Amino acid sequence: MKLRIYNKTLDPNLWDENKQLDPEVADILLKIANDFYGNTDLKGDIQDILFLGSSANYSWTPASDIDLHVVIDVSEQNITPDYARKFMDSLAAKWNNDHKIEVRGHPVEVYLQDLSEPNSSPELARKGTAIYSLIDKKWLLPPVQETPQIDQDKIQKKFAKLAGQINTLIQTEDITKLKDLMKSIRNYRNAGLAKGGEFSTENIVFKALRRTGWLTKLKNTINTLYDRGVSLNEAMLKKSVPFLLIGVVNSKDLHVGAVVDYVGEGHYDYDTEEGDPPQYHDTHFSIGGDNKRWRYKSQDHTVYWMSEEYPEEMEKDAVFDYLHNKFNIINPRNVISNNRYHLDAHRIDEVVDIDRYLIFGVTNGELHTIAKKFWQSGGDDRHEKLMKEHPDFSRRDYDSLIHWIYKKKNNIFYYYGSPTADQRYVMLAFLEDEYGVKNPIVLKMVTWSMEPYTV
């Protein structure tokens, strides 16, 4: 791997010998940033539009991105603070996915950031960062031509180690471990930027992984495994006969065993204490403290841990590997119960058509959204019950609440009230993020009819 880390001049395709940005490039970037922001329906003023990253520094390469940051004041926006970062990232990601723009051969990546975040101003700039204001047409923090201290050997070794990890984990097709690796690589880079800036070992290793295609390969593998897993899981869930797996994992040697149950044990009323309490299958191991019992339920694609103790990570991995290898079950949900007779993990006497369900949801004026999926028809009291489960949804704010229902049968999103543009965006984004719903038909309900409530 050859590293191109530093140049004697700024990119001559973008900057002149006096470090002034080409006026044509500046106009194009301003138009892109304003078009992006105008597409978001956000209400506050743009504080600044910044040109950052390698293309604004001596560390550019012919393939470097142009990082275009639109700086806003989140406090002026109708966005819940806890949700702001994720919301802004989703807006930028959608634009970047929908628009593949290049300026002078450089891909343009648009970002939204709050004025309190790193690199939004010279005072908050990371070490080694150069910042150019497209609005003021001047450097807020000019690039400094200096010879960075680069540990080539350390960079080469870390690059080789991470590339090897990516290659090895791709062969396992373990999507959980692949996601964890992607997250750890990003955290590794962010730690380097915070500590050492643009020329930190961590940032250079990250860019090398990106430039050589390893990060793209990792991301594509995760997406492929997810798509395949969803398809396999959907096929399994559509089987006419639901089933349970009654399983045990040995905590010492991680030996896993299970038996299949097509009936569903334990039709037990916990209020009256009448009926047969659930039984456990202990045919694989002797009963003892070194075993953790679990059940997989096909109807909701969930592993229930029937223990008062959380499983160790290795125990969980062993069970998930077992489910994958023996039953082709990929990426199940994971539920911990301190009640060893967890009712949800026993009942399979109702066959559910997963293609016919309702999602009841509520979104408030602060864009906080809650929802719950139902496979049975019902009335609008489910909105009230949902709000009782989330006491932060106050009756005092009732006028700002948007009640909505998504109906899978005909892919229709029904809403009651007058949502703002932000509420409308958040509700549909929530549906896509949480339930994979894309491009539903959107209908406003003047009065609630029975139609939305029937599965």
**Computed from CA positions of residues 189, 36, 424, 387, in that sequence, does the dihedral angle turn out positive or negative?**
positive
So what's the pLDDT on residue 282?
46
**Strand partners of residue 414:** 405, 443
Copy the structure tokens of residue 298.
């096909």
More confident residue, 181 or 41: 181
Give the residue from 285, 283, 291, 331 showing the smallest Cα distance to 307: 291
Side-chain-side CA neighbours of 450 within 13 Å: the count stands at 2
- SS3 of the chain: CCCCCCCCCCCCCCECCCCCECHHHHHHHHHHHHHHHHCCCCCCCEEEEEEECHHHCCCCCCCCCEEEEEEECHHHCCCCHHHHHHHHHHHHHHHHHHCCCEECCEEEEEEEEECCCCCCCHHHCCCCCCEEECCCCEEEECCCCCCCCCCHHHHHHHHHHHHHHHHHHHHHCCHHHHHHHHHHHHHHHHHHHHHHHHHCHHHHHHHHHHHCCHHHHHHHHHHHHHHHHHHHHHHHHCCCCCCEEEEEEECCCCCEEEEEECCCCCCEECCCCEECCCCCCCCCCCCCCCEEEEEEECCCCEEEEECCCCCCHHHHHHHHHHHHHHHCCCCCEEEEECCCCCHHHCCCCCCCCCCCCEEEEEECCCCCEEEEEECCCCCCHHHHHHHHCCCCCCHHHHHHCEEEEEECCCCEEEEECCCCHHHHHHHHHHHHHHHCCCCCEEEECCCCCCHHHCC
- Rounding to the nearest 10 degrees, give the CA dihedral for residues 414, 420, 423, 427: 20
Residue 145 sits at the vertex; the CA angle it makes with 110 and 68, to the nearest 5 degrees, is: 5
Cα dist from 357 to 173, 317, 335, whole Å: 31, 31, 22
CATH code for the part of the protein at 23-141: 3.30.460
Q: Taking the CA atoms of 72, 77, 79 and 81 in sequence, report the sign of the dihedral they define.
A: positive
Q: Return d(Cα 96, Cα 108) in angstroms, integer.
A: 8
Domain ranges in the chain? 23-141, 152-234, 244-345, 358-453
For the stretch 175-186, pLDDT in tens is 888 988 998 998
- Please write the tens of the pLDDT for every residue from 372-420: 887 667 776 888 888 887 877 766 677 789 999 999 888 999 998 889 9
Instruction: Give CA–CA dist 341/267, Å, rounded.
Output: 11
402: nearest Cα among 438, 441, 451, 366: 366
Q: Are 245 and 260 in contact (CB under 8 A)?
A: yes
Q: What is the pTM of this model?
A: 0.46
The residues, ordered by sequence, that sit 6+ positions from 193 with a Cβ below 8 Å of its Cβ are 126, 200, 202, 203
Interval 72-89: pLDDT, tens: 998 888 777 777 888 888
Segment 147-154 shows an average pLDDT of: 79
Contact 291, 229 (CB under 8 A): no
245-295: per-residue pLDDT in tens? 878 888 877 888 877 776 564 444 444 444 444 444 444 444 455 778 888
Across the chain, mean pLDDT equals 81
Q: Is 390 left (phi over 0), alpha (psi -120 to 50) or beta?
A: beta
Contact 205, 158 (CB under 8 A): yes
| Cα–Cα distance for residue pair 231/227, rounded to 1 Å | 6
The pLDDT, as a whole number, for residue 134 is 96
How would residue 347 be classed by pLDDT, with cut points 50, 70 and 90?
low
Q: Tell me the per-residue pLDDT of 1-38, one tens digit each, with 9 for 90 and over.
A: 555 567 889 999 999 999 999 999 999 999 999 999 99
- Residue of 136 and 247 predicted with greater confidence: 136
Cα–Cα nearest to 51, from 137, 111, 134, 140: 134
Rounded to 5 degrees, φ, ψ at 442 are -110, 125
